[in-house]
Amino acid sequence: MPLVPLAHVAQERASVRAGLGAFNVIHLENAEAFVRAAERVGQPVVLQISQNAATYHGALGPISLGTLEVARRAEVPVVVHLDHAEDLDLVYEAIDLGFTSIMYDGSALNYDDNVRNTADVVRRAHSAGISVEAELGKVGGKDGVHAPGVRTDPTEAAAFVASTGVDALAVAVGTSHAMTTRNAALDLELIGAMRRALDVPLVLHGSSGVSDEGMVAAIRAGMTKINVSTHLNKIFTAQVREYLDENPAVVDSRKYFGRGMNAVQDEVARLLSLYAAP
């Protein structure tokens, strides 16, 4: 199954009010687990590599090339996506590497600078057949930059999309990044207003903080791309701790990584099925 651009699969999901699961790749095993889960339930999936992950690995190339190869071998549609990139050089490197989607995050900039930079990214990415996601409004919890409680304005969002030509828009509707509890209160009325105002799929960052019931309600209200990372990291870490407590003599990292990733795979399959249900 070939790699697909985000715009194609996200529009398709949005048209039937289904969610599109997007999960962060920190280690290559993440990409493998996410694809196996997607194949199990027959759903498309987005594999996301963040700017922070590239920094962790010392460069974008190594983790990206492995992830792209995992995606090319998949039996379901897969998007390989650069997530929360504020560094324009990193954006252009991802385009050259063959990513099928870019998220340029100019939300910390003033509105005019965000529009100018995002429009330039869109021109370069679209010329290579690559989709672009952007962010407007401030989703809380990301490296101390974003202020919790700020909301995206639907009228401003419509103008932003028209000015930049982006294919998807991340909006602030009540979530916060890196939440370890699932009790975020979403503004469903605002999601509905955003859906009516925009002709591109909406993206929910910080979805780890949202309950299953909240996610179903958000998708029904108009959300499409659902980003999850911290929730899966919690599951992985808990399983690794449990395995090492049970097997203190083990030194082979494949043993405890396997236990953690199997649990992550099960949860991703469950979430993908949940997102498809609305």
Q: In this structure, what token pair is assigned to residue 99?
A: 């990513």
In a domain, 63, yes or no: yes
Spatial separation of the C-alpha atoms in residues 8 and 11, rounded to whole Å? 6
Number of domains in the chain: 1
The pTM for the full model equals: 0.91
Quickly state the pLDDT bin for 1 (edges 50, 70, 90): low
Q: Residue 116: what pLDDT?
A: 95
Active-site pick, 83, 153, 167, 187: 83
Range of the domain at 250: 6-276
Q: Quick one: which of 270, 242, 274 has its CA closest to 258? A: 242
In a domain, 1, yes or no: no
Tell me the per-residue pLDDT of 65-114, one tens digit each, with 9 for 90 and over: 999 999 999 999 999 999 989 999 999 999 999 999 999 998 888 889 99
Q: Quick one: which of 268, 270, 132 has its CA closest to 200? A: 132
Quickly state the pLDDT bin for 174 (edges 50, 70, 90): low
In a domain, 263, yes or no: yes
Tell me the per-residue pLDDT of 148-164, one tens digit each, with 9 for 90 and over: 456 788 999 999 999 99
In a domain, 65, yes or no: yes
Tell me the per-residue pLDDT of 182-232, one tens digit each, with 9 for 90 and over: 555 677 888 889 999 999 999 988 766 678 888 898 999 999 999 998 899
Q: Quick one: which of 149, 147, 151, 115 has its CA closest to 134? A: 115
Q: Residue 225: what pLDDT?
A: 96
In a domain, 128, yes or no: yes
CATH (domain of 79): 3.20.20.70
266 is catalytic: no
Q: Residue 178: what pLDDT?
A: 45
Strands 101-104 and 78-85: parallel
Q: Residue 187: what pLDDT?
A: 79
Q: Quick one: which of 6, 3, 5, 54 has its CA closest to 224? A: 6
Is the distance from CB of 107 to CB of 11 less than 8 angstroms? no
In a domain, 25, yes or no: yes
> How large is the angle between the packed helices 154-164 and 188-197, nearest 10 degrees?
40
In a domain, 77, yes or no: yes
Is the distance from CB of 200 to CB of 166 less than 8 angstroms? yes
Q: Quick one: which of 117, 176, 184, 102 has its CA closest to 146? A: 176
Spatial separation of the C-alpha atoms in residues 170 and 218, rounded to whole Å? 13
Higher pLDDT, 167 or 192: 167
In a domain, 96, yes or no: yes
